[in-house]
Amino acid sequence: MNEDRRSFIKKAGIGILAGIGSAAGLFPALSLEKTVLPAWDEKPEPGKHRWGMLIDTRKCAGNCKECVAACHFTHNVPDFGNRKDEVKWIWKSSYEHVFPTASQQFQSPGVTERPYVALCNHCAEPPCTKACPTEATFRRWDGIVSMDYHRCIGCRFCMAACPYGSRSFNWRDPREGIKLASTEYPTRMQGVVEKCNFCSERLVKGLDPACVEACPEQALVFGDLNDPGSEIRKLLESTETMQRKPELGTKPSVFYII
């Protein structure tokens, strides 16, 4: 049914355009994403950078969902309004869901009752990439665990392998669930797994991830974990931080100040 509708809309569009005729000058230039050349020409050196994030949960306000809204708009993440079809790249959850294996007991109620931001941890030892039979998901040269949606066959092994629930499956055509579409980024299609990409498309342009930029409290700090002079490294050295399920040995690149 969806396919029919899509093809009908396409054909109707062609009909309208044909009706207008060959007046190509009438059409304005497309407002697709402008392409920019990155600063480097050649292949990047593998392992030189390792992108990471530090989330200061003390600053994160309870009901604010700016980071989620910004990310999901930027990447055309659909919202179908039900848990079964839910697709999420970044979300807020409770302490016991984000840190179910935390060794600290008897935390203060202020700590256990706050919501916590969760996203893909971009692990240094990602279990998902090892489960993927088609190498559709892989760890990039800069530490980002990336998805090649062209290769994904929708087997969902990676979802079973990820201990953080960071991956979502497109049970339905995601375009039905996008209310406000961004033309800067593609959508996905039915039958593929998707997840946070650490805004690799923005990093190429020298921008910070959308969630970091959107946070009104500046609770999210993004930077290169391999650069000893970076802000994130200094904060990691000066503050006590936590990771999600560190005992699994996945070496997450996302850290939390509790």
The residues that touch other proteins, with contacts defined as CB under 8 A, are 10, 13-14, 17, 22, 24-25, 27, 29-38, 40-44, 138, 140-142, 146, 148-150, 183, 186-189, 204
Question: Please, which residue, 92 or 139, has the CB nearer to other proteins?
Answer: 139
* Residue 175, CA distances (Å) to 25, 65, 73, 137, 245 in order: 30, 22, 13, 22, 34
Place of tokens 């005729």: 21
Shortest Cβ distance from residue 157 to other proteins (Å)? Answer: 20
Q: Is 201 helix (H, G, I), strand (E, B) or coil?
A: helix
Instruction: Name the residue type at position 248.
Output: L
Question: Please, which residue, 125 or 148, has the CB nearer to other proteins?
Answer: 148
Question: Please, which residue, 7 or 239, has the CB nearer to other proteins?
Answer: 7
In the chain, what is the greatest distance between 2 CA atoms, to the nearest angstrom? 72
Shortest Cβ distance from residue 70 to other proteins (Å)? Answer: 20
Shortest Cβ distance from residue 77 to other proteins (Å)? Answer: 13
Spatial separation of the C-alpha atoms in residues 164 and 118, rounded to whole Å: 8
Q: Which of 224, 226, 232, 253 is nearest to 126 (CA)?
A: 253
Shortest Cβ distance from residue 209 to other proteins (Å)? Answer: 17
Question: Please, which residue, 45 or 96, has the CB nearer to other proteins?
Answer: 45
